[in-house]
Structure 1
Amino acid sequence: MLRKDQAAPLHTSAATGHDRATPPPDSRSDHRIDPVVLGTALTLCLAFVVWGVIDADSLAASAEALLDRVLHSTGWLYGLVASAAVVFALFLAVSRYGGIRLGGDDERPEFGILAWTAMLFASGMGIGLVFWGVAEPLSHLAEPPLGAAAPNSTEASRLAMEYSVFHWGLHPWSLYALVGLALAYGMFRKGRPNLLSSIVLPGRPCTSAASRAVDAFVVFLTTFGAAVSLGLGALQINNGLASTFGVPENTAVAIAVIAGLMVLFVLSAVTGLHRGIKHISTINAALAGLLVAFVFIAGPSIPVLQTMVETVGGYAAHIVPMASRTGVYGGEDWLAEWTVFYWAWWMSWAPFVGAFIARISRGRTIREFVVGVLVVPTALSVAWFAVMGGTGISMQLSGQAPLSEVLASSGEEGALFALFDHLPLAGVTSVAVIVLIALFFVSSADSASVVLATMCQRGALHPHRPLVVLWGVVIALTATVLLLAGGLSAIQTASLVISLPFLGLLVAACTGLFRELRGESTPDPAPPRGAR
């Protein structure tokens, strides 16, 4: 009898003639630590951080120059690939391939729907939504997208909500879904390791020079993507502690926050998916839901409902025009600073989030996977922005709270706490927000630690705990050094530039996935009966 941590054996299908008796990846592959991938990735990370410490100004200037060139010369390409990802993912869900299961034909999901949704949402962009949920709509209200409305006008508020959801909706989740789907299909149906090189370079051993180069690059990219997000989370927690308890708001406190949370996310990561990460993600979802419900009830409820309906309709009606704008007729700078910047940022996160989503999606059909990864998080993002961002805009336009002034003076990290300061029970809710940010911080970091360890251990589904701890510490130390060097923004910018080669990797992965799916001809299996 199989243990819960083993992949079920795959079955032979008479309908297709394909041999699905391939052993699960953990049972047939060599999962020793790959010293080349580990050493190369650590060396690259260390060299980049040392550059930031020794000469942060040089790093910032170089990164900004490269980013400006990338965003203005290839911004249209980012948009094209991101939109193509949406179309391809939805096509797979509604096509005959939607019934193909990520595993054996009779296999059932490893995780229940609630735990699965909570984990993918927390690892994907939970901490980002908390950071930007109020700040982005207010930013667009003050400086409307593409200059298409007067600042602080009704039209500006409509555009602010539509573009916020556009930036956090189907497009980023499609990127995550396609990477995760390709990896999950390869792992649980074809017996390949959970490595990006296995879908970009199918057929080549993970120890080949090309495969190791791809995996080392992905580890390098993921480390900085996670470190920058954790740095932003630490700054927001510091702002919350300052506004709630009078704690000084400085780099030292932010580093102390990172140190404390590092212990928590390392402990969570080493306990495994079925304990730490699963339970923390579930708590995250419950606490986020309670906070949204509180803001909805305590704030302008009817305008928020109206905002939600208008935003959904506007997003559906304008998604194609928004996605196809390149700035050739004006607004190129705004698009580069917001839309293209977001597409590049999501692509820098796609290898990590995709690998984690793949790891937790064994047993689901492609249709379930795409609907779960695209539709559910997009709906949650709409609700979050409508309640948080809609309430912030309502307070600003009605004169109830000068949130735009707070945004301009304290930065994006202070917008959320400024919102709660103008609602009942400000002290209690501010503490709850700090806890929520900390838990999202932990869930994102421990997910990243597990994925990075997996990549350095030749795709092992259950990497060695010391390796998980190592990458947890590396992420925390990287975020700390960046804060000390004042180079957080520069590293964020540079990591986006580094993500440019991922465009090619994503296209290669999708091409390979479609080629393999065309060989499948099984009818839709019966719907799942629930998690095992």
Structure 2
Amino acid sequence: MPSEVRTARLGIFPRVSPPVFAISAIIILGFILFGAIFTESAKALFSGAQAAITVHFGWFFIVLVNVVLILCIYLAFGRYGDIRLGEQAEEPEYGLLSWSAMLFSAGIGIGLLYWATAEPLFHFFSPPLATAESEEAASQAMVFAFLHWGFHGWAIYILVALSLAYFHFRRGLPLSPRSGLYPLIGDRIYGPIGHTVDILAVFGTMFGIVTSLGLGVMQISGGMNRVFGTPDTMWMQILLIAFITALATISVFLGLDKGIKRISNFNIILSLVMLVFFIALGPTLFIFDSYIENIGNYLRAIVERSFWNEAYSGGNWQGDWTIFYWAWWVSWSPFVGIFIARISRGRTIREFVLGVLLIPCSILFLWFTAFGGTAIHMEMTGDPGLIEATKADYGDAVFKLIEYFPMTNVLAVVIMVMIVVWFVTSSDSGSFVIDMLTAGGDRDPPKIQRIFWATTEGAVAAVLLVAGGLNALQAAAVVAGFPFAFVLIALGYGLMRALGRDKLILYRQAQLYRTAEEVDANTPPEIKHWEESEPIPRPRRTGPAPQAAE
């Protein structure tokens, strides 16, 4: 079995997977030229493609994310939970704190600061299922915000990350999405089918990241206008893209431990300081009370809201919000999944699933309660003008909110710094992952290629902003996420087949010192089923019991 995808030298790029690198680069560079030259046509193309996907395949995204979440819960509490991502006796490569910081920083990005205040406020004054600005609307607003940023999205990351980590660390296959198809197509993953899957992953990663970059620079530009009086223009946003891209390029050049890990740790500390500040100086008791209540409301309504599809109302709210989010999470899943897999060696499946599902979500829910919940509370108890600011520009909502806190200008500067750092952590992680994909799954890809992809991200973000701003960014996320959604299905099926066979091997190793009659008498029905579908010779007893049996 080959251990990695065939790579080659291509010009100034020292190690590439020629089909993946060349085709991905041509498509993305072609997109940049098309968007820059034919701006209006590009805008119409983005919006038309988004409308077609949300109208005709919204149901598909809803079914997909629910099935993925159910599968992840099964993996956490089912029979495969004790399988380790690596050797059975191996210890985790990174400590819990650094691991949590890196997965949180890579998996969230700028969208947290952009939407944490604006989205709950929007659902409060324009609710899909309640009277506007009512108590019921306030409760539903937080439920929808939790739904869009909670378990379903992180379950998508888990499926991709778990599949890639399993096949890479346990089976020695490349750290790329193609490896998850090995149980289905075998060595053909090194051919056209595997190349296609990796190209889709590159495409989704690129447009998922640039969506966040576009949102971030729009928010920074608005914040600078409020604090420093700088012009909030397209040229200012493009200059900000260039600046942030340069920082991300430096970080990704330094590598995982020197660059990405350190910035992620700094990012999580800065974010926690901001969160503590808001809780301490805001309506503290309300934040804690509503945090508990919001979680309860979310868990109570999760099934109903997860499957709600506007079938009887016939509206387009789902397309603008829930379907956009599901496609955005899917488009981010190749790069976040690969990155989380890269940092998760040595963890059991149970530890991995529960950690990725619960640690980020618990912080996210508190963050949305502290920012969005506080904003709603202020609107219900007074008239601070937050709704008007949100209607004018989603990115301005958080800057309007901090006007009611002390040290407003200092907070505004800190928020802008956080947005920059959030993007740098997302961009450098994404560039690192794209480089791994185009270098044949190499875990330490060439630095010159990291620079190429980090720079390309900035160029694509600039083109999308010129071609239509927020609408173009949202359309790009939906269009990029759609094709990779089908890859998710294949990854889930392949992972379950491989885990069943792995469990059978571990079971047989544990039975080495029993007689054949004892083994047959004590074999569970599912093990017998696995043996019939995928026969594995019983190991011969040649020495002491193996480590895997413990």
Q: Distance in 2 between matches of 1:112 and 1:261?
A: 29
| Alignment of 1:340 onto 2:327 | no
Q: What one-letter code is carried by the residue in structure 2 that aligns with 1:198?
A: S
Q: Distance in 2 between matches of 1:91 and 1:52?
A: 44
**CA shift at 1:205, angstroms?**
5.1
What is the match of residue 461 of structure 1?
Answer: 443
Task: Give the conservation status (yes or no) of the 8 Å contact 1:224–1:492.
Answer: no
Q: What are the Cα deviations for residues 395-416 of structure 1, in whole angstroms up to 9, with x where unaligned?
A: 222225110101112x111111
What is the match of residue 538 of structure 2?
Answer: none
Aligned counterpart for 2:150 among listed residues 165, 169, 175: 169
Q: Distance in 2 between matches of 1:244 and 1:163?
A: 31
What is the match of residue 429 of structure 2?
Answer: 447
- Which 10-residue stretch deviates more, 331-340 or 190-199? 331-340
Q: Distance in 1 between matches of 2:88 and 2:207?
A: 38
| Alignment of 1:194 onto 2:175 | yes
What is the match of residue 418 of structure 2?
Answer: 436
**CA shift at 1:143, angstroms?**
0.4
Task: Give the conservation status (yes or no) of the 8 Å contact 1:197–1:215.
Answer: yes
What is the match of residue 490 of structure 2?
Answer: 508
1:91 alignment partner, SS class: helix
Task: Give the conservation status (yes or no) of the 8 Å contact 1:34–1:456.
Answer: yes
**CA shift at 1:488, angstroms?**
5.6
**CA shift at 1:381, angstroms?**
1.1
Q: Distance in 2 between matches of 1:219 and 1:498?
A: 10
| Alignment of 1:520 onto 2:480 | no
1:518 alignment partner, SS class: helix
| Alignment of 1:218 onto 2:193 | no
**CA shift at 1:57, angstroms?**
2.3
Q: What one-letter code is carried by the residue in structure 1 that aligns with 2:155?
A: S
Aligned counterpart for 1:383 among listed residues 360, 366, 373: 366
Task: Give the conservation status (yes or no) of the 8 Å contact 1:198–1:204.
Answer: no
Aligned counterpart for 1:296 among listed residues 279, 294, 298: 279
**CA shift at 1:201, angstroms?**
4.7
Q: Distance in 2 between matches of 1:123 and 1:457?
A: 21
Aligned counterpart for 2:45 among listed residues 42, 49, 62: 62
Q: Distance in 1 between matches of 2:47 and 2:66?
A: 26
**CA shift at 1:486, angstroms?**
3.8
Is the alpha carbon distance of 1:81 and 1:327 closer, same or farther for their aligned partners in structure 2, counting shifts above 3 Å? same
Q: What are the Cα deviations for residues 367-425 of structure 1, in whole angstroms up to 9, with x where unaligned?
A: 1110111111111111011111111111222225110101112x111111111111111
Q: Distance in 2 between matches of 1:404 and 1:192?
A: 51
What is the match of residue 10 of structure 1?
Answer: none
Task: Give the conservation status (yes or no) of the 8 Å contact 1:109–1:361.
Answer: yes
Q: Distance in 2 between matches of 1:205 and 1:283?
A: 42
Q: Distance in 1 between matches of 2:219 and 2:418?
A: 11
Q: Distance in 1 between matches of 2:218 and 2:480?
A: 24
Q: Distance in 1 between matches of 2:471 and 2:315?
A: 21
| Alignment of 1:156 onto 2:137 | yes
Aligned counterpart for 2:457 among listed residues 433, 458, 475: 475
What is the match of residue 15 of structure 1?
Answer: none
2:444 alignment partner, SS class: coil
Map residues 110-125 of structure 1 onto 2, 5 A cutoff.
110-125=93-108
Q: What one-letter code is carried by the residue in structure 1 that aligns with 2:351?
A: E
Is the alpha carbon distance of 1:207 and 1:517 closer, same or farther for their aligned partners in structure 2, counting shifts above 3 Å? closer
Q: What are the Cα deviations for residues 168-201 of structure 1, in whole angstroms up to 9, with x where unaligned?
A: 0000000000000000001100000011112135
Q: Distance in 2 between matches of 1:286 and 1:341?
A: 30
Task: Give the conservation status (yes or no) of the 8 Å contact 2:211–2:476.
Answer: no
Q: Percent identity?
A: 39
Task: Give the conservation status (yes or no) of the 8 Å contact 2:47–2:471.
Answer: no
TM-score, L = length of structure 1: 0.90
What is the match of residue 12 of structure 2?
Answer: none
Aligned counterpart for 1:308 among listed residues 291, 311, 317: 291
Is the alpha carbon distance of 1:470 and 1:236 closer, same or farther for their aligned partners in structure 2, counting shifts above 3 Å? same
**CA shift at 1:331, angstroms?**
5.3
Task: Give the conservation status (yes or no) of the 8 Å contact 1:225–1:492.
Answer: no
Q: Which has the larger radius of gyration?
A: 2
What is the match of residue 529 of structure 1?
Answer: none
Question: What is the CA RMSD across the aligned residues, in angstroms?
Answer: 2.1
What is the match of residue 179 of structure 1?
Answer: 160
**CA shift at 1:499, angstroms?**
2.2
1:191 alignment partner, SS class: coil
Map residues 215-254 of structure 1 onto 2, 5 A cutoff.
215-254=198-237
Q: Distance in 1 between matches of 2:56 and 2:240?
A: 39
Q: What one-letter code is carried by the residue in structure 2 that aligns with 1:164?
A: A
Q: Distance in 2 between matches of 1:475 and 1:126?
A: 15
Task: Give the conservation status (yes or no) of the 8 Å contact 2:207–2:476.
Answer: no
Task: Give the conservation status (yes or no) of the 8 Å contact 1:56–1:487.
Answer: no
Q: What one-letter code is carried by the residue in structure 1 that aligns with 2:346?
A: G
**Any gaps of 5 or more consecutive residues in structure 1?**
1-21, 527-532
TM-score, L = length of structure 2: 0.87
Q: What one-letter code is carried by the residue in structure 1 that aligns with 2:124?
A: L
**CA shift at 1:345, angstroms?**
1.4
- Which 10-residue stretch deviates more, 238-247 or 492-501? 492-501
Is the alpha carbon distance of 1:456 and 1:59 closer, same or farther for their aligned partners in structure 2, counting shifts above 3 Å? same
